[in-house]
Amino acid sequence: KMMYLGFFVFGLGAETSIVVLSKGIVKWFKGKEIALALGLNLAIGRLGTALALNLSPTLAEVQFTNAIWFGVMLLWIGLLTFIIYIFMDMKIDRQIRETLPHDPEDEFKWSDLKFLVTNPTFIYITLLCVTFYSAVFPFVKYAPDLLMNKYDLERQISANISSILMYGTIVLTPLFGWIADYKGKSATLMYLGSVLLIASHLMFAKTMIPPYIPIFILGVAFSLVPAAMWPAVTKIVGENK
């Protein structure tokens, strides 16, 4: 029960921070290289997941709680760096106020929510976000267990293979973000990523293909969709919303 509660509280903090980080990146990279910036941000987050998959079995061999305390240490480092960022953000806010006149239209109003719930494009992207991540994050959580049982692999090897998914996204997400910035085709990237996601899950479910192949394909899909999806939202929705 305590672990369930811990997951819940961690989720509250993680998802809240993602919203704030996305808003901050849009402010700092407004009008230039937004997809690449968001892609790099996502890549760093995927590095954390990859290290969790690689290091947790090793740390847990010594003592079960070692992996948890290592994660706590990283969270403290993240908190300290965020405090430093706050001062940087306050500085750019002052610069913006000094150079740009205040426009009441730029302020958020509750009536702006009507735009979000009536904009078909935004709703489609929101549905893609929910369904896509629902097909990835639960899989990542149980991937080592799946590989141990289906392919009869050792725990550390299963964790290392699962981490391929994340290491691939570290390289590919910024690359696809760069393509979305300079070439466009965001919708095409999202279509392709969704198809690859389905193909990867079907390989795991219906075949005995070596797990490296579907994991790699899933990594490509997991890079394509977020790299195109998050910047697309900034183009559809105004900054004040």
CA distance 186 to 177: 9
Q: Are the C-beta atoms of 171 and 196 separated by less than 8 Å?
A: no
pLDDT > 90? residue 206: yes
Out of 57-61, 79-83, 107-111, the most confident range is: 79-83
User: What counts of helices (H) and strands (E) characterise the chain?
Assistant: 9, 0
What is the DSSP secondary-structure string of 179-232?
HHHHT--HHHHHHHHHHHHHHHHHHHHH----THHHHHHHHHHHHHHHHHHHHH
What pLDDT is recorded for position 147? 93
Angle between helices 137-150 and 34-62 (to 10 degrees): 40
Q: What is the pLDDT of residue 103?
A: 63
Q: Would you place residue 31 in the very low, low, confident or very high pLDDT band (cuts 50, 70, 90)?
A: low
Burial of residue 82 (number of CB atoms within 10 Å: 0-12, 13-18, 19+): middle
Q: Residue 194: what pLDDT?
A: 92
Q: How many residues does the chain have?
A: 241
pLDDT mean over 128-151: 90
Select from 60, 51, 53, 23 the least CA-distant residue to 38: 23
Q: From residue 224, give the alpha-carbon distance in Å to each of 101, 182, 192, 216.
A: 38, 15, 7, 13
- What does the angle CA 67 – CA 44 – CA 94 come to, to the nearest 5 degrees? 120
pLDDT value of residue 106: 66
| Segment among 58-67, 100-109, 130-139, 142-151 with least mean pLDDT | 100-109
